Chains A and B, each alone.
Chain A
């Protein structure tokens, strides 16, 4: 344990880091899922005409 100002701190163990990495991967998957979710719902709500517009 080391001191950081007045706050006592501890270093992450390799196991802690592995857990945090797995959590970050799960969060990334959720975010990708949300992007797909909003994309599909938007298509359904607005209808296929949203694809048919002049460039």
Chain B
């Protein structure tokens, strides 16, 4: 049959039933920026784990974890396509943009989910694979399908999904979970609310239009600003713990203290400046810096533990 007679199902309301999407559209379904942070944090868990793993096995496990994270992002986009279409930030995503059919995204997400879990189980161990499967389930089902549209604490509880990668990383190396990865879990878990609520304050109208009960829409901007500061005040000291527990060195101590103070200062600014363009800028500054903050913490942790650059400190806790 000639190519000219190949057929596709007709499109309705901008949603492709059989798409002609390109590879980059499928790559976009994996939320590459989130995947990058997952890779960095999982590497942090692997680097601080007591033990070692063959570099090729470590790399293979990391690829499986990254693909699993991408798969959960893909399933999230499939489930949330209706509300994504209503929000300016997400309206151009592959499904609401009409470039990928919902059924394609679902098949893609499920295939990658199953594949990544099986591969992680084969190259690493069953615990790491089970943990990755649970993370995908938690993000796609517990967060996306349940919490996101039903409670203002959606990203607080759902934040656990983003905090699991260091634990998976440690499980890859040791076949177990330890205190190190639990501390890294706590850092990411406490980081998630200030990070997301800074964005939610700016995009409150978008979330209202989509009917997503984010904290600013439910409890109001003032309460959200107070809670952002409260979480930052708890998170910053917790982020110093790796240095006090002996699995991070002097560089990490300095970076975690300085950037932690910056997070608190930016949260105070969000609390104090609540009107007009300045308030918008304060929220954007906190949102942008929070990404840099998490990246810096794990990058220094990684450099110290993997490259032999650690200036060891006396163990204070643990």
Chain A contacts to B: CB under 8 angstroms: 1, 4, 7-12, 16-17, 19-20, 22-23, 26-27, 37, 40-41, 44-45
Q: List 29 A-B contacts (CB under 8 A).
A: A1-B10, A4-B7, A10-B10, A11-B4, A12-B4, A12-B6, A12-B8, A12-B20, A16-B20, A17-B3, A17-B6, A19-B20, A19-B21, A19-B22, A22-B22, A22-B23, A23-B22, A23-B23, A23-B26, A26-B23, A37-B60, A40-B60, A41-B56, A41-B60, A41-B122, A41-B123, A44-B56, A45-B57, A45-B123
Chain B contacts for A10, CB-based, 8 A: 7-8, 10
Chain A contacts for B5, CB-based, 8 A: 11
Pairs A-B, 9 closest by C-beta atoms: A26-B23, A9-B7, A16-B20, A44-B56, A19-B20, A41-B60, A12-B6, A8-B10, A19-B22
Q: Is B54 an interface residue (CB 8 A)?
A: yes
Chain B contacts to A: CB under 8 angstroms: 3-10, 20-23, 26, 54, 56-57, 60, 63, 122-123
Interface of B is mostly: helix
Judge whether A41 and B57 touch: CB under 8 Å: yes
A-B CB contacts (within 8 Å), total count = 53
Known interface pairs A10-B10, A17-B3; 11 further A-B residue pairs with C-beta atoms within 8 A, sorted by A's residue number: A7-B9, A8-B10, A10-B7, A12-B7, A16-B8, A17-B6, A19-B20, A22-B23, A26-B23, A40-B56, A45-B57
